[in-house]
Amino acid sequence: MRFSQTIALITGAGSGIGKATAIRLANEGAKVILVGRTRSKLMETAYEINEAHRIPMAEVFPADVTDSEDVQELAEYMQTHFGDLHVLINNAGSSKHSRLLETSEEDWDYIQNVNLKSVFLVTKALAPIMIQGSQQDHAPQNRAIVNVASLSGHQAGAHIPHYSSAKAGVINLTKAFALELAPYGIRVNSVSPGFVESPLTEESLQNMNFIKAIDRNTALRRVGRAEEIANVITFAASEEASYMTGSDILVDGGWLIK
């Protein structure tokens, strides 16, 4: 129960890595606030979490984390209803496939907003609540932000120029926030998953050539599971990572070493 008496907020919590992380945090004692655009998916995650506990551990707040007004409402909700925040997981993301010279300005903006701007908006809005809480602590409590980046932030993927550049931005924005928030005892790290079974890869995993490429180019010769990434995110958010900030943890099954 590493997160007992902890309030954690997860964006993109309706499916995939976000859902798996929310479940893991709740199972370790955290009160989890599930954020995303689709209420029905958030409710499904909350139901699964709450069914497994005698005391409800999950609440839902539908919001578009690329919209500054929605994010400000989220911050006001957190301040009013909880007055504190210990763990923030910026997981919301999306991708599209296109060649760089064929990428529309609209697609470029959309992918940058979902993957990078959202991290900026949510962290900027919620970090003050975390700072306020840390300054009021009688005994120091673990406070951490974990941003979900990507293998593509290290190595540009084929036909995802907007996604690769956005995730590289997440890795460096993480370092900037880590430096700025360190004086308040708030650690900021990122986790870069490789190819994982999730809504983002669902279509690709139907392609036999893609599956063969995974087998050929990944040292562990398989895609990852959302739960495996959630394990690492949870570690980075826990006190076990108390001397780590401004770091990126690559969880790619050995793709980059092949």
**Is-catalytic flag, 163?**
yes
Of 77, 110, 163, 184, which one is the catalytic site residue? Answer: 163
Distance (Å, whole) CA 114 – CA 84? 25
Q: Are 104 and 110 in contact (CB under 8 A)?
A: no
Pick from 11, 26, 86: which is nearest to 56 by CA?
Answer: 26
Distance (Å, whole) CA 64 – CA 151? 25
Q: Are 7 and 84 in contact (CB under 8 A)?
A: yes
What is the distance, to the nearest Å, from the Cα of residue 166 to the centroid of all Cα atoms in its chain?
14
Report the catalytic residues.
Answer: 163
